[in-house]
Amino acid sequence: MQPEVESRGRAIAAPAGIVLRTRARAKINLDLRVLGRRADGYHELESLVAFAGIGDELSLVPQQPLSLSITGPRAAGLEAGDGNLVLRAARTFEQLFPGAATGSFHLVKRLPVASGIGGGSADAAAALRLLARLNGVALSDGKLRGVAASVGADVPVCLESRARLMAGIGERLGPVLRLPALFAVLVNPGVPVETVGVFRAMGLTAGQPLKATRDQWAASPSEAAELRALLACSGNDLAAPAEQIAPEIGEVLECLEELPGSRLARMSGSGATCFALFDDCHASAAAAKVLARERPGWWVKPTLLR
């Protein structure tokens, strides 16, 4: 995978005739606060986001008609048409960068869909990274960030895929945080959960006063135990309404809490994917092996969050 290259603050376009590749890493909401519902109906959020070492894979063949093909263990049922976020991101990029080169995308889908880990948003952000690399556009470019925000709420934070605090409806990003490595197990019970339904189940009325934001992440905790202690004081406000829609989430959390060495168990995003944190990679790998054996129908992955 070629890295984005910049010279004197300006990105250098990738050479023609090569295949560009990137990984669309899973987004994990370490916590998530719903601050309220604005007068326009959108929910104001605040969340500490980290990214996993696992994800989808996206490649781009330049000098081909804009298109998308999808394979992989989680490709079943996914549409490769204009409604897919990868193509939506590419077409929006074309509109804001007239004359931009595009190409043929191929997505290897490994992350479960509608699962609270930003799979579609990470794929869209990956498409924008590849197009930016192809056309010599820096990831810090304001127009590129505008494209990301217009495609989806989680796309801006997935653009760089680095730990940070996100707020608003996803458009406000804090500085990149150097979080300590978190050894985790991700679990999805195979039940898709639509975000719209979860917010509807919260029952918040439009225009109600918003909760105050926080500033506790102004500095990054240097130790995993310190970070876990901070996270234990927060939570995920979407967990309860998500469990109303998918009771399996409660079962997943219970199983994660009971795993040997589990330090913290929580749902990510709007569900149904949940995670547990462990002291080291050996504990997380052993726990994942136990859970995968006990629940063979679940998607269970040990990973590193950063």
Task: Provide the annotated active-site residues.
Answer: 27, 154
Residue 57 near residue 24, CB atoms below 8 Å: yes
Report d(CA 236, CA 252) in Å as an integer.
15
Report in angstroms the alpha-carbon separations of 158 from 28, 54, 121, 212, 224. 10, 14, 7, 25, 23
> Closest by alpha carbon to 205, among 45, 33, 46, 36?
36
> Closest by alpha carbon to 16, among 133, 96, 95, 106?
133
DSSP 117-142: S-HHHHHHHHHHHHHHHHHT--TT-H
Report d(CA 149, CA 37) in Å as an integer.
19
**What's the gap between Cα 267 and its chain centre?**
13
- φ, ψ for residue 27, nearest 5 deg: -90, 130
